Amino acid sequence: MNERSKSSKKEKALRVVVTVLILGVLLYIVQLLYLLRADSPRGFVLPEGNIAAGKAAFVELGCIQCHTVRDISLPSPEKAPAEGLIELGGTQRLAKTYGQLVTSIMHPSAELHHAEGRYTDSNGASRMPNYQSQMTVEQLVDIVRFLQEHYNVFVPDYDPGYYYTPYGYYPTPLPGQ
């Protein structure tokens, strides 16, 4: 091999390394820009809210026409829906996060399980009215704070012989069953 051939191979290898590094830096910058985009929820925080004002807004906006809140005394609805009232709060396996509650109020169809037809119309959209033009940000924050106070998270004890479902504990099948 001559000197020129060795030099050419080193230059090619160096170009490949530099190209890979440049692509890596560009990919990193693109990911960083994605995380910092304006519609990112990262860093999105609203004021804490007022529980009493949230309860009042819950009643005032008519949420009681379709919802109850576990262990809370609320006025009766004018006419209960045929499907029954939807109970909010209580013990859950997963925490209802601030974001989930805000989304459930402002975009109720986003987290619906469409198999549950009692919550949806014939198009599969939530039966819950659109409150975006009727509710102030302060009312939203207060209602979310009110609801958060009434959710408890249940963490079942771990038993390798049983598994937990929302319907209770069931024996874990033995291998081969």
Q: Could you tell me if 10 and 72 lie in one domain? A: no
In a domain, 11, yes or no: yes
Predicted confidence (pLDDT) per residue in 128-155, tens digit: 888 888 999 999 999 999 998 888 866 6
Measured between its terminal Cα atoms, the distance across the chain in Å is: 66
What is the CB neighbour count within 10 angstroms for residue 124?
A: 12
Question: With 70 as the cut, is the pLDDT of residue 120 above it?
Answer: yes
31 lies in the same domain as 112: no
In a domain, 43, yes or no: no
33 with 10, same domain: the answer is yes
Q: What is the mean pLDDT of the chain?
A: 78
Tokens encoding 159: 């038993």
For residues 38 and 128, give the distance between their C-alpha atoms in angstroms, rounded to a whole number. Answer: 28
Give me 140's structure tokens: 């939203």
Q: How many structural domains are present in the chain?
A: 2
Q: Is the pLDDT of residue 156 over 70?
A: no
CATH number of the CATH domain containing 104 = 1.10.760
Is 114 a residue whose pLDDT tops 60? Answer: no
- For residue 46, tell me if it sits in a domain: no
Both 25 and 62 in one domain: the answer is no
Residues 103 and 149 in one domain: yes
User: Is residue 135 included in any domain, yes or no?
Assistant: yes
In this structure, are 69 and 119 located in the same domain? yes
Percent of the chain predicted with pLDDT > 70: 68
Write out the DSSP string of 80-97.
--TT-PEEE-EEESS---
**Domain around 10:** 1-38
Residue 177 is assigned to a structural domain of this protein: no
- Give the model's pLDDT for residue 80: 76
CA distances from 14 to 9, 10, 21, 25, 27 (A): 9, 6, 11, 16, 20
Are residues 7 and 87 both part of a single domain?
no
Q: pTM of the full predicted structure?
A: 0.61
Q: Clarify whether residues 73 and 24 are in a common domain.
A: no
Q: What's the rounded mean pLDDT across residues 156-171?
A: 60
Same structural domain, 71 and 106: yes
> pLDDT digits over 24-77, tens only?
888 877 776 655 555 555 566 678 899 999 999 999 999 999 899 998 999 988
Residue 147 lies in a domain: yes
Question: Which residues lie closer than 8 Å to 140 by C-beta, 6 or more apart?
Answer: 46, 102, 105, 106
% pLDDT > 90, the chain: 20
Tell me whether strands 86-88 and 67-69 are parallel, antiparallel or unpaired. parallel
Whether residues 29 and 59 fall in one domain: no
Please tell me the distance from the alpha carbon of residue 78 to that of residue 58, in angstroms, as a whole number.
Answer: 15
On whether residue 172 sits in a domain, the answer given is no
